Amino acid sequence: MKNIAVIGAGTMGNGIAHTFAQNDYNVQLIDISQDSLDKGMATITKNLDRMVAKEKISEDDKKRTLDNITTHTKTETGVKNADLVVEAATENLDLKLKIFKDLDSLCGENTILASNTSSISITQIAAATSRPEKVIGMHFMNPVPIMKLVEIIKGYSTSADTYNTVEELSKKLNKVPVEVNDYPGFVANRILMPMINEAIETLYNGVAGVQEIDTVMKLGMAHPMGPLQLADFIGLDVCLSILEVMHDGFKNPKYAPCPLLVNMVRAGKMGIKSGEGFYDYTESRKAETVSSQFTK
Query: What one-character-per-residue DSSP string does 197-263 give?
Result: HHHHHHHHTTSS-HHHHHHIIIIIH--SS-HHHHHHHH-HHHHHHHHHHHHHHH--GGGPPPHHHHH
Question: At which of 181, 208, 243 does a domain end?
Answer: 181
Kindly state whether residue 296 falls inside one of the protein's structural domains.
Answer: no
Going by the DSSP 8-state scheme, the letter that residue 287 receives in this structure is: T
Considering 14, 47, 68, 189, which one is annotated as catalytic? 189
Question: What is residue 118's three-state secondary structure?
Answer: coil
Number of domains in the chain: 2
Residue among 47, 68, 151, 197 flagged as catalytic = 151
pLDDT in tens, 117-141: 999 999 999 999 999 999 999 999 9
> Do residue 86 and residue 150 come from a single domain?
yes
For 226-274, write each residue's pLDDT tens digit.
Answer: 999 999 999 999 999 999 999 999 999 999 999 999 999 999 999 999 9
Best CA proximity match to 194, nearest among 248, 152, 247: 247
Q: Binding residue per annotation — 63? A: no
Active-site residue among 87, 139, 241, 276? 139
Are residues 109 and 248 both part of a single domain?
Answer: no
CA 290 to chain centre: 25
Q: What is the pTM of this model?
A: 0.89
Give residue 282's pLDDT band: very low, low, confident or very high (50, 70, 90): confident
Q: Is residue 295 a part of any domain in this protein?
A: no
Identify whether residues 163 and 226 lie together within a single domain. no
Same domain, 60 and 39: yes
Nearest CA-CA partner of 49 in 63, 35, 36, 37: 63
**pLDDT for residue 295 is more than 50:** no
Given 181, 202, 234, the domain boundary residue is 181
Same domain, residue pair 163 and 253: no
Q: Is 8 labeled as ligand-binding?
A: yes
Q: Which of 181, 208, 226 is the last residue of a domain?
A: 181
User: Model confidence at 195, in pLDDT bands (50, 70, 90)?
Assistant: very high
Domain shared by 34 and 167, yes or no: yes
Same domain, residue pair 236 and 137: no
Query: In sequence order, what are the beta bridge partners of 3?
Result: 26
Has residue 146 been placed in a domain?
A: yes
Asked if 26 is an active-site residue, the reply is: no
Confidence grade of residue 289 (pLDDT, cut at 50, 70, 90): low
Q: Is 235 annotated as a binding residue?
A: no
Element (H, E) at 137: strand 135-140
Look up the domain containing 20 and give its range. Answer: 3-181
Q: Are 107 and 85 in contact (CB under 8 A)?
A: yes
12 is in an annotated binding site: yes
Q: Annotation-wise, does 54 bind a ligand? A: no
Asked if residue 294 has pLDDT above 50, the reply is no
pLDDT score for 291: 42
Say whether 218 counts as a known binding-site residue.
no
Any domain includes 235: yes
Residue 195 is assigned to a ligand binding site: no
Active site residue 151: yes
Q: Are residues 269 and 200 in the same domain?
A: yes
Catalytic residue among 36, 47, 115, 118: 118
Query: Residues 25, 121: one domain?
Result: yes
Tens of pLDDT, residues 210-223 = 999 999 999 999 99
CATH number, domain of 196, equals 1.10.1040.10
Same domain for 154 and 18, yes or no, is yes
CATH number at residue 66: 3.40.50.720
Give the pLDDT band (50/70/90) at residue 286.
Answer: low
In the predicted model, what is the mean pLDDT of residues 56-72?
Answer: 97
> Is 118 known to be catalytic?
yes
* 245 and 109 belong to one structural domain: no
User: Residue 4 in 3-state DSSP?
Assistant: strand
In terms of domains, do 173 and 228 share one? no
How far apart, in Å, are the Cα atoms of 103 and each of 75, 133, 160?
8, 14, 21
Q: What pLDDT sits at residue 250?
A: 96
Asked if the model's pLDDT at residue 105 lies above 80, the reply is yes
User: At residue 192, does pLDDT exceed 80?
Assistant: yes
Q: What would the DSSP string read from start to end of 10-21?
A: SHHHHHHHHHHH
State yes or no: 11 annotated in a binding site: yes
